Structures are given as structure tokens and as C-alpha cells.
Structure 1
Amino acid sequence: MDEFTLGCFAQSLCKARRWREALSLFEKEEIVPNTVLYTKMISGLCEASLIEESMDFLNRMRTSSCIPNVVTYRTLLCGCLRKRQLDRCKRILSMMIAEGCYPSPKIFNSLVHAFCRSGDYSYAYKLLKKMVKCSCKPGYVVYNILIGSICGNEELPSSDVLELAEKAYGEMLDAGVVLNKVNVSNFARCLCGAGKFERAYTVIREMMSKGFIPDTSTYAKVIGFLCNASNVEKAFLLFDEMKRNGIVRDVYTYTILIDSFCKAGLIKQTRNWFDEMVRDGCAPNVVTYTALIHAYLKARKLSNANDLFEIMCSEGCIPNVKTYTALIDGHCKAGEIEKACQIYARMRGNVEISDVDMYFRIDDGNSKEPNVFTYGALVDGLCKAHKVKEGRNLLDAMSVEGCEPNHIMYDALIDGFCKPGKPDDAQEVFAKMSEHGYGPNVYTYSSLIDRLFKDKRLDLALKVLYKMLKNSCAPNVVIYTEMINGLCKVGKTDEAYKLMLMMEEKGCYPNVVTYTAMIDGFGKVGKVEKCHELLREMGSKGCAPNFVTYRFL
């Protein structure tokens, strides 16, 4: 049997995982294995995924003074790559280069791809340097593999990994290589995500100078990131450039820019873009309309918002819950509660209504579903319009519909009941709030305590304060001062003073208003020495008295 036939037979045995038979075949035939035979043995073992055995053969080959060649090492590298034994790949590559066997660009490309897939971008970048040392010039494929792998994930790369992509990009430019369309877009996106907006802008420019024409998607991504970083000016330049380059500006790109201009308060410019969008035959979507409607409402231009809403509906663009919520909230904040309720009724699929009270007599199941923000805006608006009863009815209705009220809505109702002097109703809401697992906050307690003091129900106010402390909700200086002032006004100066000492123990320090209330209280019950003592204490604690303080002395 000649060497070639023996090699092929041995390789077939190895593929069948009968490598021991292949070895004995060598011995029986009394043929001294050469590089070709060893390489065929190693190839068969690698194809059978017997990597350990193939490495043993490599060592046997070396000890027998038979020198591995490029094909031998390439075979081993491919076998290790298939099994993802990357540490072994590193060792084989080092041996290979040390012996003057340089991998082909294709092998380097495969190695870079494998290390990128494993997340070892640092070594993948080092492979580019090894390529140069091996007189193998990195080209289009390997640069796109590295930069594409780093920037192609949905999650942004870490700063040190992105820095590797930037280094590779710089070397790529020097080599006269360009990125493909997808990688330009993703690289620019990652640069924007890292706050390197100027760099992203430059990348687009550099690629364009080399004949790359960004598509709508690339422009949209970069414009979006620039807008999110409030770099509207640069975003506008790219947007304008799209038209000059004959790139279609789609609804997504228009909407990104319109939304950003709205957030920047540039309503006039936004409307110009909106009108141009329509002239270009690009139909605005619900997000586009809602962004501009919201901007009009924030600027208190309610008639513009309402007109645009009617245009939206007439064009067949169906408003969503965000559109309705923006309109309801905007009208509530402007004090137009009647109009807000009409919009809410329209949202629910009801007919136009003439007043708020009528709305609460309408019940129609054929409706769109408002969310907690919609209800929140309306409840808050009703309370501020002194229609607290209607606000509570709405809160009850939303609970029945399975939309759980939030903390803000309970606070609005409690404050709404407290202001007209209905603390009992406020306490009822307060109790319901606790039942639903919402711990009252400082604002909630403050509204209730303030109303109880105004109604001269001091004992109940104190109970609320102690409940507040028990629930680990620290009163602020305003609440403590209000309590101290209320107690002093009814002659309970000792209780007031104890409360002032307690507030300091709790880490809340009296201010000039607190001290002044206490001095006034002691003065009215004839405790002049105590007044002077408090005045000295103010000085020692750096709390300067005001003219009201001195007036009470």
C-alpha cells in the first residue's frame, strides 16, 4: 500500500472514530508517517470531533521530527473552532506563527468571527495585529466582522469595547476599506448611544465620501439618537440632507424630528415640518399627531390642539389613549373641565355632552379603554375645579372597570375634600387608599392635617401626625410648624414645645417660622423668659429672627 492510499484509508478510519486501527495500520505497513499522512490522520480525527486525540497526534508528529505545515495547523484550527475550543485555538495559532506558518485571511476571518461570538472582542482585535505581522492585510470582510459584531447587538457595547471598534474603524479607513450599509448604521447608532454624536456624524460623512449612500433606516437611526440627545440642529442638517440626496423621508423620520422639535418648544417650526410632510405625500400617523397636539397643549394653545385633533380624525387616523389623555390633561390644566369631560366621553364612544354632571349619568360599554393616566388627569382636573364628588365617582368607576387608582389620584381627592372643609370625606378616601396598599406620603398627610387644624380638630390632627410617624413617613418642617402653631393658638404651649423637641430628635430642625410660632405661644401665656431662651437658641443655631419674631417679643 503506497503512502497516499494508506493516508486516505487512515483518514477514513479516523472519521469512523477508529483511530487506533489507523495507528496500527501505520505500524503494520512499516511506513514512516510523513507530514501528509499525519495531517490526514489529524483531519480525520478533527472531523470525528476527537480534538484531544488530534492534539496527541500533533505532539507525536513533532516528536518524530515531522514538521507540521499550514494545512496541518489549519485543520486543527478548524476542528477547534467547530468545537468552540477557543483557548486551544490561541495556543495553536501561537505555535503556528512561531514556526513561520502563517494562516490565510480566511482562517483569520473565521477566528475573528469566533472570538467575537464568544464576546472576547479584545482578542478579536488583537488578531488584526497578528494578521499584519503575518503579512496578511486585514480587509473588508474582517473589519466588517469585528465592527459588525461589536455594534450589531440590540444592547449597546461597553465603552472599552466600543473603543476597540473605533480603533478598528480608524485602521480600516487608513487601509481604504469601507463598512457595509448595516454596519455603518449600527456603528453610528452605538456612537450616538455613547454620547459621541459628533463622531457618529463624522462616520456618516466619511462613508459618504467613499461612495456610501445612507438609506432611510440609517438616517432615521442617527437622527433619532441626535434628537434624543437634544442635538436637534445636527439632526435637522441630516434630515435636510436626505432630501438633497433623494432619500425618501418616511413617516418614522418625520415623526422623530417633529417630536424632538415639539419637546424643544419650537412649535412654529414643528408645524412647518408637519405641513411639509403632508405636502410630500407622507401621511402623519397617530404618534405624529399626538406629539404636535401635546406641544400645542403645553403651550396653552388649546384651539390649535383641538383643530389638529379634528383634522386627525377626518383623515382617518384613529386617536389612541395617549392622544386622548394629552387632550384631557391639557384642558384640565387650563381649567376647561367641561371640554375635558366631553373629550373623555368621546373617547369612550359616547355622544357629545353639554356639561360635566351629564357625563356622570352616561354609561356606554361601547368605548375605548382609558388608562390610569387618563383617569388621573381627569380626577385631578375635577378636584381642582371643585367637583370632588364627581372625581370620587370616577375613581370608583375606574376601580370597577379593573383600572387600579394610583397614589396621585388619591392625593388629589384628599386635597380636594380638605380645601372646602370636608375632612371626614378626606379621611374616608385616606382609609380606602391604605386598604389598596398605598402608603400616604407627606403631601397626603399635610393636606389632612392642615384641614383638621383649620376646623380646630387638634386631637385628631395629632393622631394623624403620630400615625404618620408610625408608618415611617417623616413629617417635614412645614407639618411640624403647622402643628406647633395650631397648639400654641389654643394655649397648649407645653405640648407644642414637646413637639418641637421631638422634631429635632427626628432630624427635622425648626426654622424661623417654627421658632416664631413658639415664641408667640409662650408670650401669650406670659412665659417671657422662655421666649428669650428660644431667641438665644435661634442665634446659637444660626437661625436668624425676622421682624415678626421681634414683634412678638
Structure 2
Amino acid sequence: MASPADSEDREADAVGILNKMESGDCKPDVVTFGTLVKGLCMKGNNTEAIQLLRKMEEGGCKPGIVIYSTIIDSLCKDTMVVDAMNLFSEMMSKCIEPDIITYTSLIHGVCKLGEWKEAARLFNEMVSKGIFPNLQTFSVLIDTLCKEGLVGKAKSMVEMMTQRDIEPNTVTYNSLMDGYCLRGEMREAKKVLELMLRKGYTVDAYSYNILINGYCKHKRIDEAVLLFEEISSSRVILNVVTYTTLMDGFCKVGRTQDAQKLFSQMQACGHFPNVQAYAVLLGGLCKNQQFPEAIQLLRDMESKKLKPNIVIYAILIGGLCIGGKVDSARDLFRSLSSRGLQPNTRTYNIMISGFCNGGLTNEAVKLLKEMEEKGCSPNGWTYNIIIRGFFNNNEPSEAMGLIQQMVGKGFSADASTTELIIDLLSKDKVDPALLPLIERIKG
């Protein structure tokens, strides 16, 4: 496999050959430029691709729809949609007509940004030009509609496809099924899966995972288990995601023993749990305050040479704090550096919250200072946690001092903090001189 350095060398060689061609009698044509542009875009070098486009124009070689579409598609994949739209406008101004690839790329780009109205506008514009969407275009739109909760419109679009003799594929149906699951319409989601099976589609673990996840999200665990057992006895090959999804469902309803059994079953079937699988089970054990089992799971993870990341430790630290074991949480937090890990803002916030809930506001303030000294920037949540800690610990003057610091850094009080401030105002426990400051943070 070629290394990034090798790829860069090949690109440099290609550009060098181009320069020699331009200086000699053999002038590069559209095909030559197109090949180079495609190579640059495949590597995500959009700036260089656009520069090459300009070089074409300067040399009198007129770029066509293929080159423009290639760059537009690359820009959209990198969510540089504004640049893609500008290039699209430039192309149109030069009377270069877009094709289905151009529009599909743009629609995909705006959909990734959640701009459904713009996607609809592009879709209508495309159809008005006599360019009818293909399977890929429909699939992109259907997926976006489903994620926006507009499953009815997505279903209508599937019907439009079939009317135009464009057969939906597994990707299309998976999007539709996921849309129903997001809305909790599990009966409709199951119907989509049954339709796929009736039509003879190859339904793999990914499709089943969507439905299992839907059942678990809506705490319909028994139905998730039935589906899991059904596919276990079929030819469908389960994967780690399938097991992890059902484990997460068990943990969410407090059935950690079932989650642990499934964790063991997964390994017995030859599937090695990944960090996410461990995180799910660890989170469930901590939520149910089964700390000895959680610690053992961490050790099990370490023994299998699967290095726990900061997320794993944050889950355990958070669980210990919620369980009132702040000293144990602090010890684990302090051991992170010896494990080759540096706490991030979220991990600091979890430990700070543990201190505040335990009435240890001085420890929380020390940790805030430590964050800043170590270059880990506190966020609005950090300040709000400690401010509420001060209020709850009957230290309003310290809270107001930290509020000033928070506002100075451009953060605002959240709803819970504001409620506490208003409560103190109603009891005349706040210095009137601080009222202008309070008005600022409420905004």
C-alpha cells in the first residue's frame, strides 16, 4: 500500500510532466487535465484542483462538465458547500449545463449540512431542466428526509421512484426503516424489513441492527431480543455492533446481568469486543452502581491489550462520583497521566461535578485552575457546575465572583444556574450592585 509521501510524490511527478508538456510541443488536452483533477480530488486536494482548473483556462483549454462536476463533488464531500455552489454558479455563467452528477453532488452536500429546503430547491431546479433524479439522488434525499423526521415525504419519494421504474435498493429501504425507528413507529419499520425480505434483497446485519436499535431506543427490549434470536438462527452473520446495540438496550432498562451474559456470548461466538462494546457495558454497570464488576471489566479490557481511552475512564469516574465514591473517582482521575492519558474538558467537568455534588467546592476550584494551567480550556458547563456548587453549598459571594469570571470569558448562565440566581433575588440575598451583571448573564 502506498504511503501518503508516495502519493504526494506521484502528484508532484504528474504536475511536473504537465509542466514539461506545456513547455514543449505536446500540449495537454481536456483528458490529461481531467485525469490530474480527478487524482487531486481523490486525495482531497481541492485547492490544487481548482488551481489546475484555472491553469486550463489560462492555457486556452476549456474545461467541461466532467471536470467541474469532479471538483464540485469533492468540495461537497468535504462539506465545502459554499465553494461548490460558487463553482456551480461560475459553470452556469459559462453556459456549461449541469448534469445528474452535478446536481446529486450538490444535493448530497447540502443534505449533509441539514439544509433540506436548499436540497428541495435543487431537486426542483434539476427536474425543471429535464434532468430526472437517479437512484443515488433519491437515496440521498430519502435519507435526509428520514433523519429530519419527514418519513411520510420519504415514503412518497420511494413511491415516485417505483413509478419511474427506479427500483429502491437496500440503502434506500434502510434509510426508510431508520426513519420509522427514529419516530418510534416500530410496526412500520418492521414492515419495511419484511418488504425487503419478500423482494429477495440481501438483508445483512446492518439492516437488522437498525431495527434492533429502534426497539432498544424505545425500551421494547423483549422485541429486540426476539429479533436477535431470529437472526441468530438464520444465515445472517451478526457483528459486534449487533451485540453492542442489544447490550446497550439491556443496560438502559437496568438488565445488566443480561448485558453481561450477552457480552460473554459475543466472545464465545468469536467476536472480539471493541472499545465501544466495553464502554456500553461499563456505563451500564456504573449506572447501576455495580462498581466491583465495572473495575473488573476495566482490568479485563487491559488484560486483552485493548487500551482503554479517556472515554472509558470518564465513564468510570462519572459513575463513581454519582455513586458517592468521590475519593475513588479522584484517585482514578489522578492516575490518568501515569496511564499515558490526559483528561479532556469533559473528564475535568465530570470530576468537578463530583466534587461539587459532594460539597467539595474548594477542590472543584482547584481543578478549574489546574485545567487552565494545563491548557485544557474550561467551557460554559465548567463554570455553571461550580457556580451551582457554590449556591448549593450556601456560598453566594463565591458564586457571584465566579459569575463575573465566567461572563468575562464570554459564557452565559444556563437555565439551572439562572433559576438559582432568580431564587436568591426573590429572597433579597444578592447584592443589588450585582444586578447589572445578573441581567447580562441571563441574556
TM-score range, shorter chain: 0.5 to 0.7
Give the 3-state SS of the residue equivalent to 1:348 in structure 2: helix
Using the alignment, how far apart are the partners of 1:538 and 1:164 within structure 2? Answer: 55
Please tell me whether residue 399 in structure 1 is matched to residue 302 in structure 2.
yes
Contact 1:122–1:161 (Cα < 8 Å) also in 2? no
Aligned position for 2:88: 162
Please tell me whether residue 469 in structure 1 is matched to residue 369 in structure 2.
yes
**TM-superposed deviation, 1:49:** 7.0
Q: What amino acid sits opposite 2:100 in the alignment?
A: V
**TM-superposed deviation, 1:153:** 4.7
Using the alignment, how far apart are the partners of 1:398 and 1:159 within structure 2? Answer: 48
Aligned position for 2:261: 342
Give the 3-state SS of the residue equivalent to 1:158 in structure 2: helix
Please tell me whether residue 381 in structure 1 is matched to residue 284 in structure 2.
yes
**TM-superposed deviation, 1:235:** 3.8
Aligned position for 2:333: 430
1:162–1:191 Cα change, 3 Å: farther
Aligned position for 1:193: 109
User: Which of 100, 105, 111 is residue 184 of structure 1 equivalent to?
Assistant: 100
User: Which of 192, 199, 209 is residue 273 of structure 1 equivalent to?
Assistant: 192
Aligned position for 1:289: 208
Using the alignment, how far apart are the partners of 1:118 and 1:205 within structure 2? Answer: 31
Using the alignment, how far apart are the partners of 2:293 and 2:317 within structure 1? Answer: 13
Contact 1:446–1:479 (Cα < 8 Å) also in 2? yes
Using the alignment, how far apart are the partners of 2:327 and 2:89 within structure 1? Answer: 63
Q: Deviations over 1:342-391 (max 9, x none)?
A: 221222227xxxxxxxxxxxxxxxx4222222212211111111201211
**TM-superposed deviation, 1:479:** 2.8
Give the 3-state SS of the residue equivalent to 1:405 in structure 2: coil
Give the 3-state SS of the residue equivalent to 1:118 in structure 2: helix
**TM-superposed deviation, 1:463:** 4.2
- The CA RMSD measured in Å over matched residues stands at 4.5
Q: What amino acid sits opposite 2:53 in the alignment?
A: G
**TM-superposed deviation, 1:163:** 2.2
Contact 1:485–1:514 (Cα < 8 Å) also in 2? no
1:430–1:206 Cα change, 3 Å: same
**TM-superposed deviation, 1:289:** 1.0
Give the 3-state SS of the residue equivalent to 1:404 in structure 2: coil
1:248–1:334 Cα change, 3 Å: same
Aligned position for 2:228: 309
Aligned position for 2:349: 442
Superposed counterparts of 1:411-430, under 5 Å: 411-430=314-333
Q: What amino acid sits opposite 1:193 in the alignment?
A: G
Using the alignment, how far apart are the partners of 1:234 and 1:515 within structure 2? Answer: 45
1:152–1:466 Cα change, 3 Å: closer
How many corresponding residue pairs? 374
Contact 1:185–1:221 (Cα < 8 Å) also in 2? no
> Relative contact order (alpha carbons < 8 A, sep ≥ 6): 1 or 2 greater?
2
Using the alignment, how far apart are the partners of 2:355 and 2:105 within structure 1? Answer: 51
- TM-score calculated relative to the size of structure 2: 0.67
Identity %: 21
Q: Deviations over 1:157-190 (max 9, x none)?
A: 6111122455678x85xxxxxx8xxx52453232
Structure with larger Rg: 1
Q: Deviations over 1:239-267 (max 9, x none)?
A: 22333344443323322332333334443
Q: What amino acid sits opposite 1:197 in the alignment?
A: A
Structure 2: give runs of 5+ residues left out of the alignment: 1-19, 34-48, 78-82, 373-377, 408-412
Using the alignment, how far apart are the partners of 2:23 and 2:437 within structure 1? Answer: 78
**TM-superposed deviation, 1:336:** 1.6
Using the alignment, how far apart are the partners of 1:280 and 1:293 within structure 2? Answer: 21
Using the alignment, how far apart are the partners of 1:317 and 1:511 within structure 2? Answer: 53
Q: What amino acid sits opposite 2:405 in the alignment?
A: K
Give the 3-state SS of the residue equivalent to 1:375 in structure 2: helix
